[in-house]
Chains A and B, each alone.
Chain A
Amino acid sequence: MRFRALGEEGQRRLCASRVTICGCGALGTVLANHLARAGVGHIRVVDRDFIEIHNLQRQILFDEEDVASNLPKAEAAARKMRAINSSITVEAVVTDIDHTNILDLVADADLILDGTDNFETRYLINDAAVKLGKPWIFGGVIGSEGQTMTILPGKTPCLRCVVEDSPPPGMTPTCETAGVLGPAVSTIASFEAIEAIKILSGDFESLNRDLIMVDLWNWSFRQLKVAGLLGKVDCPTCRRREFDWLEGRMGSHTTTLCGRNAVQIATRRADKLDFAQLAAKLTGIGSVRHNDFMLRFETDGHEFTVFPDGRAIIKGTNDIARAKTLYAQYLGS
């Protein structure tokens, strides 16, 4: 409140605001922590996963006791947030965000925050945000590097203006294949949080209009100019208003394979996967072999059979949310 740009009026607006944090892993816990302490009045935290011991290296709201209690991430985060600030309302939603539920999860929010780890969900958020005309903030991190961008539909380029397509599985590193450093996540999530505070307190003038890129290990900070893309690229989402993810035309379709303790994730990629490249990424994390028709990868009790079109059968679980997490972790969006 003493910070002049925010002031009493800004703080009052924060207290009256509602946000939805999509995903409560590394980015999401840092966002949740900052926004709870800032006094954002209503925070909905949505996540499909349970906490695992290897999450604790970067997911700052969780501890070993939460792992032992088998708590879902959204619920554990909500408990911590209520303990941090009893004057706010925190809602935990344990669900897999998909095209059937996203509008319900974000319709009443003033702002949507990206705490996800995959582009499929980000394009879905982008569709929902553009359709509803709601601001959202993108963040992504890998290794010591991260990106963030603030999206005001109609006023700034949307995610799909800037990133026209997600890299195919194997073409991009994931946190599981390349590692990720806690401070890098905290930095990007903190950038998202400060932008959130500006938006919720009504200061749109001071927002970031660039694609921010940082590499903390090598001390580089770049502000890439993307504002000129608005209206210049023929964006299917914000210009043509084709909501491919929201309407279920894009994105994966999952099926539990009955009696096989397996889930099939069918993606809809036009381009074929490069198995040699994917295998190179996964070598060292588990056993991997491939021929022209399929790639098989085994790690940690799960067996992935991946097909050239990106479809995968993940054995070792019949939980769709878990399978989608594993897909994002090892194969990428």
Chain B
Amino acid sequence: MPLVRIPTPLRPHAGGNDSAQAEGSTVGEVLNALTSAYPDLRSRLFDGEDLRRFVNVYVNNEDIRFLEDLDTPVAAADEVSIIPAVAGG
């Protein structure tokens, strides 16, 4: 099962976990499975069916926007990372 890396600000909405395994053969399926397990996470990642514009998702180290977005295929050994923009400084 692909591993999803959850960023620090979203961990309180994912049972405190820094990563979780979720079933699916595309990024969209994996994130749907994850947000079924943690419904609180859904509204933070999605606006309806689309990812929120300040949420970026990577498969391994590649931005899914230049792959196939939520349809990007993922294999069991792949890592899906949710990357928020870091504001401070």
* Chain A residues within CB distance 8 Å of chain B: 23, 25-28, 114-119, 139-143, 145-147, 162-168, 171-175, 178, 180, 185, 188, 210-211, 213, 222-226, 228-229, 232-233, 271, 274, 332-333
Contacts and interface: CB of A to CB of B under 8 A. Distances in A.
Interface of B: 8-9, 43-44, 47, 52-54, 56, 58, 61-63, 65-66, 81, 83-89
A27 B61 contact: no
A172 B56 CA distance: 14
Given A165-B54, A171-B54, A225 B62 contact: yes
A136 to B, nearest CB: 14
Contacts of B9: 171-173, 178
Contacts of B89: 23, 25-28, 114-117, 139-141, 175, 185, 188
A172 B63 contact: no
17 contacts: A115-B89, A140-B85, A141-B88, A142-B86, A145-B8, A147-B85, A167-B54, A172-B54, A172-B87, A173-B8, A178-B9, A211-B83, A222-B81, A224-B61, A224-B62, A228-B63, A233-B65
Nearest to A119: B87
Contacts of B66: 228-229, 232-233
A188 B87 CA distance: 13
A222 B86 CA distance: 14
Nearest to A271: B47
A142 B87 contact: yes
Nearest to B60: A225
Contacts of B53: 164-165
Contact of B88 (A180, A222, A271): A180
Contacts of A173: 8-9, 87-88
Task: Please name the 10 residue pairs, one residue from A and one from B, whose CB atoms are nearest each other, closest first.
Answer: A140-B86, A165-B53, A228-B66, A175-B88, A27-B89, A142-B88, A164-B53, A167-B54, A163-B85, A117-B89
> What does DSSP make chain A's interface, helix, strand, loop or mixed?
mixed
Contacts of A332: 87
A250 to B, nearest CB: 13
A157 to B, nearest CB: 9
Given A224-B61, A232-B65, A172 B83 contact: no
Contacts of A188: 89
B49 to A, nearest CB: 16
B56 A162 contact: yes
B87 A224 contact: no
Contacts of B43: 274
B54 A163 contact: yes
Contacts of B56: 162-163
A27 B87 CA distance: 12
A166 B87 contact: yes
Interface-central residue, B8, B43, B54, B87, by most chain A CB under 10 Å: B87
B45 to A, nearest CB: 11
Interface-central residue, A28, A115, A175, A213, by most chain B CB under 10 Å: A213
A209 to B, nearest CB: 12
Contacts of B88: 117, 140-142, 173-175, 178, 180
B61 to A, nearest CB: 5
Contacts of B63: 162, 224-226, 228-229
A191 B28 CA distance: 34
Contacts of A166: 54, 85, 87
A223 B61 contact: yes
Nearest to A143: B8
Contacts of A175: 88-89
Contacts of A163: 54, 56, 85
Contacts of B62: 224-225, 228
A23 B89 CA distance: 9
A166 to B, nearest CB: 6
B86 A141 contact: yes
Contact of A117 (B81, B84, B85, B87): B87
